[in-house]
Amino acid sequence: MNAIFSRLIRNWKDTQAIGQIVTHGLINRVERGWEEISDLWLPNLGQENPVQLARPVVLVPGWSTQTQIFAPLLNKLEDGNRKPLYVQEGDFFTDPACRNPAQPDAETKVYMVVLKDNRCTPEQAAREFAQAMERLPGSGKVDVLGYSMGGLAARDYLDDGGQRLGKLLMLGTPHHGTPLTGASAHILRREIGWAMALAGLKMTDLAGLQGLAPESAYLKDLNSRVVDQLKNLEAAETVGATTMLTLSEQGLPCFHGDGLVPKNSLQLPGVPLRSLEGDPAALHEHQPYSVSAFREMGRFFQWSAGPPFNPAGEPAALEKRPLETEGSSPGAASFKVASEESIRAF
């Protein structure tokens, strides 16, 4: 009898996890459809003026984030002819593939952290971010934009003092995890092959997803030291969408999140939350090139306006959608793409 009961419990948990992933995929398709319609009248980042930075800024990506989604933002942060540098395990490069070594100097203003394995654990991301901070030239404060898991990496760095970190903006950071990470970790632990294929998951993803799941030991430990993490900062803020269709903690769709991260996971005691309300383009995986997010960055970091927007001089990278989905039908293939891309955005 106990064996039967245990099997029923396992089957129910499997069904619940798979249901959450399928529901999230459907939610993602709805949000993407609304976003594509909204593109007809919404401004895109390519039309925004470049900015001049008050001091250097370091960008930290999220779990499985592709570096190219930061290209539109990086183009707006270029200081004259000074290009951004990419940092991987403490070494500097001129290209996002990290093949061409470079040497930073006091004039470099923009740094982009490139994780050695972009599906690593949040602890490993924190270590690589700390390596980047330790190798920056000079001794003055720098600002940090932590996207999704990148915000957790920055907070982890603050546990060790974080003396060089001035202002911290956490964009779409899941301080308390997301239902989708928990469901994904469950499917991997149970090795449900077809569900893993549907969600684009690999067994090597398990460690990273477990760290980002709700109530994970990593998040509980990190959140137990919020007060100490914030005391040496000049300012901290979380920015994210809070009114988009999102999977709730109960596995049901609700209008309280950014399509991936529920509003309550964006909230952190002592840290203001700025909501990107009314911007259909602020879906979690699109936030690095969302116009409303860019304007929040400028306000928070006190960036000043640079030269006016010049359509003829804008590079091709400033397209609204650097990561287009494949397939135009609402069938299984396009649903799979939606599920994979949303999971890639933690």
> Residue 211 is encoded by which pair of tokens?
């760290």
Considering the domain boundaries, does residue 114 fall inside one? yes
pLDDT at 5: 39
pLDDT at 7: 45
Dump pLDDT digits (tens) for 237-253. 999 999 888 877 666 66
pLDDT at 318 over 50: no
CA distance 123 to 142: 22
> Residue 189 is encoded by which pair of tokens?
């632990």
- How many domains would you assign to the chain? 1
Considering the domain boundaries, does residue 2 fall inside one? no
Considering the domain boundaries, does residue 17 fall inside one? yes
Boundaries of domain holding 328: 8-343
Considering the domain boundaries, does residue 3 fall inside one? no
Considering the domain boundaries, does residue 255 fall inside one? yes
| Lowest model confidence (mean pLDDT) among 29-33, 58-62, 109-113, 130-134 | 29-33
CA distance 321 to 66: 13
pLDDT at 81: 60
pTM for the model: 0.79
Q: Which amino acid is at 275?
A: S
Considering the domain boundaries, does residue 1 fall inside one? no
pLDDT at 26: 45
CA distance 38 to 295: 19
CA distance 178 to 266: 10
Q: Would you tell me the crossing angle of helices 149-158 and 122-135 to the nearest 10 degrees?
A: 60
Dump pLDDT digits (tens) for 252-291. 667 688 888 999 999 999 999 999 977 766 889 889 999 9
Considering the domain boundaries, does residue 235 fall inside one? yes
pLDDT at 131 over 80: yes
**CATH number of the domain encompassing residue 307:** 3.40.50.1820
pLDDT at 50 over 70: yes
